[in-house]
Amino acid sequence: GAVVSQHPSWVICKSGTSVKIECRSLDFQATTMFWYRQFPKQSLMLMATSNEGSKATYEQGVEKDKFLINHASLTLSTLTVTSAHPEDSSFYICSARDRADNEQFFGPGTRLTVL
Amino acid sequence: GQNIDQPTEMTATEGAIVQINCTYQTSGFNGLFWYQQHAGEAPTFLSYNVLDGLEEKGRFSSFLSRSKGYSYLLLKELQMKDSASYLCAAMDSNYQLIWGAGTKLIIKP
Protein backbone atom coordinates (compact mmCIF):
# COMPACT_ATOMS: atom_id res chain seq x y z
CA GLY A 1 0.00 0.00 0.00
CA ALA A 2 0.88 3.66 -0.23
CA VAL A 3 3.15 5.15 2.42
CA VAL A 4 2.68 8.38 4.33
CA SER A 5 5.34 9.65 6.67
CA GLN A 6 5.12 12.18 9.46
CA HIS A 7 7.87 14.10 11.17
CA PRO A 8 8.55 14.39 14.00
CA SER A 9 7.09 11.31 15.69
CA TRP A 10 6.96 13.08 19.01
CA VAL A 11 7.80 16.51 20.30
CA ILE A 12 7.91 18.16 23.69
CA CYS A 13 7.90 21.93 23.80
CA LYS A 14 7.40 24.81 26.17
CA SER A 15 4.16 26.73 26.29
CA GLY A 16 4.15 29.62 23.83
CA THR A 17 6.41 28.07 21.23
CA SER A 18 5.39 26.99 17.74
CA VAL A 19 5.68 23.47 16.42
CA LYS A 20 5.70 22.37 12.79
CA ILE A 21 4.61 18.86 11.76
CA GLU A 22 5.35 17.55 8.27
CA CYS A 23 3.26 15.02 6.38
CA ARG A 24 4.64 13.44 3.22
CA SER A 25 3.21 10.97 0.74
CA LEU A 26 6.23 8.94 -0.29
CA ASP A 27 5.13 6.96 -3.32
CA PHE A 28 2.02 8.68 -4.63
CA GLN A 29 0.64 12.12 -5.34
CA ALA A 30 -1.82 13.31 -2.76
CA THR A 31 -4.18 15.94 -4.05
CA THR A 32 -5.88 16.06 -0.68
CA MET A 33 -4.41 15.74 2.78
CA PHE A 34 -6.30 15.64 6.05
CA TRP A 35 -5.19 16.64 9.53
CA TYR A 36 -6.72 14.92 12.53
CA ARG A 37 -6.33 15.29 16.26
CA GLN A 38 -7.00 12.54 18.74
CA PHE A 39 -7.19 12.93 22.48
CA PRO A 40 -6.68 9.89 24.70
CA LYS A 41 -9.47 7.32 24.45
CA GLN A 42 -11.36 9.45 21.94
CA SER A 43 -12.00 9.06 18.24
CA LEU A 44 -10.28 10.92 15.45
CA MET A 45 -11.37 14.52 15.07
CA LEU A 46 -10.92 16.07 11.65
CA MET A 47 -9.25 19.46 11.99
CA ALA A 48 -8.88 20.52 8.39
CA THR A 49 -8.75 19.37 4.79
CA SER A 50 -6.06 20.73 2.54
CA ASN A 51 -5.94 20.60 -1.21
CA GLU A 52 -2.69 21.18 -3.02
CA GLY A 53 -2.24 24.78 -4.02
CA SER A 54 -5.28 26.13 -2.21
CA LYS A 55 -6.22 27.24 1.28
CA ALA A 56 -7.19 24.61 3.80
CA THR A 57 -10.79 24.11 4.84
CA TYR A 58 -11.08 24.08 8.61
CA GLU A 59 -13.71 22.26 10.64
CA GLN A 60 -15.97 24.22 12.92
CA GLY A 61 -14.24 25.15 16.16
CA VAL A 62 -10.71 24.82 14.80
CA GLU A 63 -8.81 28.12 14.83
CA LYS A 64 -7.15 28.62 11.47
CA ASP A 65 -4.79 31.25 12.85
CA LYS A 66 -3.57 28.83 15.48
CA PHE A 67 -3.28 25.75 13.31
CA LEU A 68 -1.57 26.88 10.11
CA ILE A 69 -1.72 24.42 7.24
CA ASN A 70 0.34 24.61 4.10
CA HIS A 71 -0.03 22.17 1.22
CA ALA A 72 2.52 23.48 -1.21
CA SER A 73 3.11 20.34 -3.23
CA LEU A 74 1.43 17.07 -4.11
CA THR A 75 3.59 15.22 -1.62
CA LEU A 76 3.93 17.57 1.35
CA SER A 77 1.59 19.25 3.80
CA THR A 78 2.62 20.95 7.02
CA LEU A 79 0.68 21.76 10.17
CA THR A 80 2.10 24.47 12.42
CA VAL A 81 0.71 24.77 15.92
CA THR A 82 1.38 28.39 16.83
CA SER A 83 1.85 29.53 20.41
CA ALA A 84 1.19 26.05 21.70
CA HIS A 85 -0.41 25.59 25.13
CA PRO A 86 -0.81 22.50 27.31
CA GLU A 87 -4.36 21.96 26.06
CA ASP A 88 -2.92 21.49 22.56
CA SER A 89 -1.14 18.36 23.75
CA SER A 90 -2.56 15.58 21.62
CA PHE A 91 -1.87 12.97 18.97
CA TYR A 92 -1.85 14.65 15.55
CA ILE A 93 -2.36 12.39 12.55
CA CYS A 94 -2.30 13.24 8.88
CA SER A 95 -3.73 11.24 6.04
CA ALA A 96 -3.42 11.58 2.30
CA ARG A 97 -5.72 10.61 -0.49
CA ASP A 98 -4.40 9.35 -3.77
CA ARG A 99 -5.92 11.24 -6.67
CA ALA A 100 -6.82 7.93 -8.28
CA ASP A 101 -8.38 6.37 -5.21
CA ASN A 102 -10.86 7.05 -2.46
CA GLU A 103 -8.77 5.43 0.23
CA GLN A 104 -7.01 7.54 2.81
CA PHE A 105 -3.54 6.49 3.89
CA PHE A 106 -2.52 7.52 7.37
CA GLY A 107 0.78 8.75 8.63
CA PRO A 108 2.13 7.24 11.87
CA GLY A 109 1.10 10.27 13.91
CA THR A 110 2.91 12.90 15.96
CA ARG A 111 2.54 13.03 19.69
CA LEU A 112 2.76 16.61 20.92
CA THR A 113 3.30 17.41 24.58
CA VAL A 114 3.25 21.07 25.61
CA LEU A 115 4.68 21.77 29.04
CA GLY B 1 -27.08 15.41 9.91
CA GLN B 2 -24.34 12.91 9.35
CA ASN B 3 -23.83 10.22 11.92
CA ILE B 4 -21.99 6.97 12.50
CA ASP B 5 -22.95 4.58 15.29
CA GLN B 6 -20.93 1.65 16.55
CA PRO B 7 -20.67 -0.03 19.95
CA THR B 8 -18.22 1.51 22.38
CA GLU B 9 -16.66 -1.70 23.59
CA MET B 10 -16.85 -5.44 22.95
CA THR B 11 -15.20 -8.42 24.61
CA ALA B 12 -14.44 -11.75 22.94
CA THR B 13 -12.40 -14.87 23.59
CA GLU B 14 -9.23 -15.86 21.80
CA GLY B 15 -10.02 -18.19 18.91
CA ALA B 16 -13.65 -17.09 18.69
CA ILE B 17 -15.52 -14.94 16.15
CA VAL B 18 -16.74 -11.40 16.75
CA GLN B 19 -18.93 -9.11 14.67
CA ILE B 20 -18.69 -5.33 15.05
CA ASN B 21 -21.69 -3.47 13.70
CA CYS B 22 -21.85 0.02 12.27
CA THR B 23 -24.80 2.09 11.07
CA TYR B 24 -24.38 5.28 9.14
CA GLN B 25 -26.28 8.30 7.88
CA THR B 26 -24.47 10.52 5.43
CA SER B 27 -25.16 13.09 2.75
CA GLY B 28 -24.48 10.91 -0.22
CA PHE B 29 -22.36 7.80 -0.02
CA ASN B 30 -19.08 6.81 -1.58
CA GLY B 31 -18.15 3.79 0.44
CA LEU B 32 -17.62 2.42 3.92
CA PHE B 33 -14.19 1.94 5.48
CA TRP B 34 -12.96 -0.06 8.44
CA TYR B 35 -9.71 0.81 10.18
CA GLN B 36 -7.85 -0.82 13.04
CA GLN B 37 -6.11 1.34 15.59
CA HIS B 38 -3.83 0.07 18.33
CA ALA B 39 -3.32 2.32 21.34
CA GLY B 40 -0.87 5.11 20.62
CA GLU B 41 -0.71 4.36 16.91
CA ALA B 42 -2.32 5.72 13.79
CA PRO B 43 -5.20 3.83 12.14
CA THR B 44 -4.41 1.18 9.57
CA PHE B 45 -6.71 0.31 6.69
CA LEU B 46 -8.67 -2.95 6.89
CA SER B 47 -11.40 -2.82 4.27
CA TYR B 48 -13.47 -0.78 1.87
CA ASN B 49 -17.00 -1.61 0.68
CA VAL B 50 -18.98 0.39 -1.81
CA LEU B 51 -21.25 -2.34 -3.20
CA ASP B 52 -23.65 -4.48 -1.20
CA GLY B 53 -22.31 -7.77 0.00
CA LEU B 54 -19.48 -9.42 1.82
CA GLU B 55 -15.79 -8.81 1.17
CA GLU B 56 -13.49 -11.43 2.65
CA LYS B 57 -9.83 -10.83 3.34
CA GLY B 58 -8.19 -13.56 5.39
CA ARG B 59 -9.52 -13.63 8.93
CA PHE B 60 -11.35 -10.35 8.42
CA SER B 61 -14.55 -9.84 6.42
CA SER B 62 -16.66 -6.74 5.92
CA PHE B 63 -20.29 -6.54 4.89
CA LEU B 64 -22.32 -3.65 3.51
CA SER B 65 -26.02 -3.03 3.01
CA ARG B 66 -26.53 0.36 1.39
CA SER B 67 -30.31 0.23 1.64
CA LYS B 68 -30.08 -0.28 5.40
CA GLY B 69 -27.13 2.04 6.01
CA TYR B 70 -25.42 -0.84 7.77
CA SER B 71 -22.05 -2.52 7.79
CA TYR B 72 -20.26 -5.03 9.94
CA LEU B 73 -16.70 -6.18 10.40
CA LEU B 74 -16.30 -9.88 11.14
CA LEU B 75 -13.13 -11.13 12.78
CA LYS B 76 -12.52 -14.88 12.87
CA GLU B 77 -10.02 -16.98 14.83
CA LEU B 78 -9.37 -14.09 17.15
CA GLN B 79 -5.82 -13.55 18.32
CA MET B 80 -4.61 -11.49 21.26
CA LYS B 81 -3.01 -9.04 18.83
CA ASP B 82 -6.50 -8.22 17.50
CA SER B 83 -7.14 -6.27 20.70
CA ALA B 84 -7.52 -2.75 19.36
CA SER B 85 -10.07 -0.12 18.45
CA TYR B 86 -11.96 -0.63 15.22
CA LEU B 87 -13.10 2.51 13.45
CA CYS B 88 -15.99 2.63 11.00
CA ALA B 89 -15.99 5.55 8.56
CA ALA B 90 -18.41 6.42 5.76
CA MET B 91 -17.41 8.60 2.83
CA ASP B 92 -19.99 11.23 1.93
CA SER B 93 -20.78 12.87 -1.40
CA ASN B 94 -17.85 15.28 -0.95
CA TYR B 95 -15.49 12.36 -0.48
CA GLN B 96 -15.05 13.30 3.18
CA LEU B 97 -14.79 10.54 5.76
CA ILE B 98 -17.32 10.67 8.57
CA TRP B 99 -15.86 8.77 11.50
CA GLY B 100 -17.48 6.68 14.17
CA ALA B 101 -16.14 6.89 17.71
CA GLY B 102 -14.58 3.45 17.41
CA THR B 103 -15.22 0.10 19.06
CA LYS B 104 -12.67 -1.05 21.59
CA LEU B 105 -12.27 -4.80 21.23
CA ILE B 106 -10.91 -6.68 24.22
CA ILE B 107 -9.67 -10.22 23.62
CA LYS B 108 -9.49 -12.55 26.60
CA PRO B 109 -7.45 -15.78 26.70
Q: What is the pLDDT of residues A53-111, one digit of tens each?
A: 888 999 999 999 999 999 888 899 999 999 999 999 999 999 998 766 667 889 999 99
Q: What is the mean pLDDT of residues B77-98?
A: 92
Asked whether the beta carbons of residue B99 and residue A109 sit closer than 8 angstroms, the reply is no
Q: Determine contact, residues A43/A58, Cβ cutoff 8 Å.
A: no
User: Using a CB-CB distance cutoff of 8 angstroms, which residues of chain B are in contact with residue A34?
Assistant: 97
Gap between the Cα atoms of A83 and A63, Å rounded? 12
Q: What is the mean pLDDT of residues A3-11?
A: 93
* pLDDT band at residue B96 using 50, 70 and 90 as cut-offs: confident
pLDDT of the residue at A42: 79
Q: Please write the tens of the pLDDT for every residue from A15-65.
A: 999 999 999 999 888 888 999 998 887 778 899 999 888 889 999 999 999
Q: Please write the tens of the pLDDT for every residue from B54-72.
A: 999 899 999 999 999 999 9
* pLDDT band at residue B40 using 50, 70 and 90 as cut-offs: confident
**Chain A residue closest to B91 (CA)?**
A102
Task: Let me know the angle formed at the C-alpha of A33 by A42 and B94, rounded to the nearest 5 degrees.
Answer: 85
**Chain B residue closest to A91 (CA)?**
B40
* pLDDT band at residue A1 using 50, 70 and 90 as cut-offs: low
Beta strands B9-13; B103-108: pairing state: parallel
User: Using a CB-CB distance cutoff of 8 angstroms, which residues of chain A are in contact with residue B42?
Assistant: 93, 106-109
What residues of chain A have any CB closer than 8 angstroms to a CB in chain B? 1, 32, 34, 42-44, 46, 49, 91, 93, 97, 102-109, 111
User: Using a CB-CB distance cutoff of 8 angstroms, which residues of chain A are in contact with residue B94?
Assistant: none
DSSP code, position B52: S
Asked whether the beta carbons of residue B40 and residue A91 sit closer than 8 angstroms, the reply is yes
Q: Determine contact, residues A79/A100, Cβ cutoff 8 Å.
A: no
